[in-house]
Amino acid sequence: MQVRITLMVAALVLCCLAYLSLGARGDWSFVLAFRASKLAALLLVSFALSWATVIFQTITGSRILTPAIMGFDALFLLLLSLLVWSIGGQAYQALPVQGLMAANAALLCSAALILFKVVLRAGRDNMMQMILTGVVLSVLFRSLTSYVLRVIDPNEYAVVQAASFARFSNIDTSLLTLAAGLSLVAGLGVWHLRHRLDVTSLGPVLSTSLGEPPQRLQWQVLILISILVSVSTALVGPVAFFGLLVTSLTYLIIPSSRHADILPAAALIAGIILVGGQTMMERVLDLNTPLSVVVEFLGGLVFLFLLLRSLR
């Protein structure tokens, strides 16, 4: 496994170097500084999303759930469109950037806590019910959003729409410092909990008998997830399948269930996919297809391939 981790680190470093250097023309110091901040944003997103998904799957005890599938992104967009609708698009855009992010993060955190708490309580001992609830809620939120969008006027529509698609090529780098700070705090929090998460992943019965009832961790973990997801959503917008893809790949590649192994590996894999994919898209293929499409297509294929191979 050490070999695999080393290989992944090497791959990520290569991707980053390629991203920074390929096709750079003109003033190097300017290009590098510009690209470095975008690279930092991509890495932050990889880190935040992968960790959020891993710990979310641990406390829900399911490898299929992700914050996105449970309706987190959809709820974010709904709140955003409600906000734009109530205060108006211009007033919304006039808010200072940092304040906007803080407001978004706060909105997301509180909404996410309510959502997850409701959903998790609903499905305390019935996983099927919990997943159904999440899937249905996200459809509900999405439909309500498109309802609100139809009602508000076209200019304000554009404001919401800009926020509702994942965008990797023009990332809002003005938020970097704040985002990095938040991720660092949340990341430390998660790392601190890693051994308790290991026990929790054994399931409610075993973990309770080992003295770590899952309910006790839930609040802390949910707050950490909310912070991480709002960081990523604020930077690039919602990315539906990315988290699921990353954790699925991680569990297929890493033969371990210790969070001390899984968490770094997940972050590395996420970074390789995002930075590598973005490099390919922007620099090598010069394609204008959105990265999220490619991530979903190639990542999905890789996932199916690995899954079927592991079953054999």
Q: Under a CB-based contact definition with an 8 Å cutoff, are residues 203 and 192 in contact?
A: no
Q: How many residues of this chain interact with other proteins, rule: CB under 8 A?
A: 42
Binding mask 276-295 for other proteins (x = CB under 8 A): ------------xxx--xx-
Least distance (Å) between residue 119 CB and other proteins: 11
Q: Under a CB-based contact definition with an 8 Å cutoff, are residues 67 and 224 in contact?
A: no
Nearer to other proteins, 100 or 140 (CB): 140
Q: How far apart are CA 66 and CA 51, in angstroms?
A: 11
Nearer to other proteins, 185 or 293 (CB): 293
Direct distance between the N- and C-terminal alpha carbons of the chain, in angstroms, rounded to an integer: 21
Taking contact as CB under 8 A, which single stretch among the options 39-47, 82-90, 161-169, 241-249 is the one that binds other proteins? Answer: 241-249
Q: Angle CA(210)–CA(213)–CA(217) in degrees, nearest 5?
A: 125
Q: Under a CB-based contact definition with an 8 Å cutoff, are residues 292 and 166 in contact?
A: yes
Q: How far apart are CA 210 and CA 155, in angstroms?
A: 56
Nearer to other proteins, 34 or 147 (CB): 147
- Using DSSP's 3-state secondary structure scheme, residue 54 falls into helix
Maximal CA-CA distance, the chain: 63
- Residue carrying structure tokens 């390629």: 18
Taking contact as CB under 8 A, which single stretch among the options 9-17, 244-252, 256-264, 269-277 is the one that binds other proteins? Answer: 244-252
Return the residues of window 65-84 that contact other proteins according to CB under 8 A: 69
Residue 305 is encoded by which pair of tokens? 């391939």
Q: Does 107 bind other proteins (CB under 8 A)?
A: no
Taking contact as CB under 8 A, which single stretch among the options 23-31, 131-139, 175-183, 196-204 is the one that binds other proteins? Answer: 131-139
Residues 6+ apart with CB under 8 A from 167: 236, 237, 290
Least distance (Å) between residue 148 CB and other proteins: 10
Residue 227 is encoded by which pair of tokens? 């912070």
Binding mask 40-69 for other proteins (x = CB under 8 A): ----------------------xxx----x
Least distance (Å) between residue 204 CB and other proteins: 17
The torsion angles phi and psi of 50, rounded to 5 degrees, stand at -65, -45
CA nearest neighbour of 243 among 222, 264, 270: 270
Nearer to other proteins, 110 or 129 (CB): 129
Return the residues of window 136-155 that contact other proteins according to CB under 8 A: 136-137, 139-140, 142-144, 146-147, 150-151
Q: How far apart are CA 233 and CA 89, in angstroms?
A: 19
Nearer to other proteins, 95 or 127 (CB): 127
**Of the candidate residues 31, 100, 218, 296, the single one contacting other proteins (CB under 8 A):** 296
Chain residues binding other proteins by CB under 8 A are: 62-64, 69, 122, 127-129, 131-133, 135-137, 139-140, 142-144, 146-147, 150-151, 240-241, 244-245, 248, 288-290, 293-294, 296-297, 300-301, 303-304, 307-308, 311
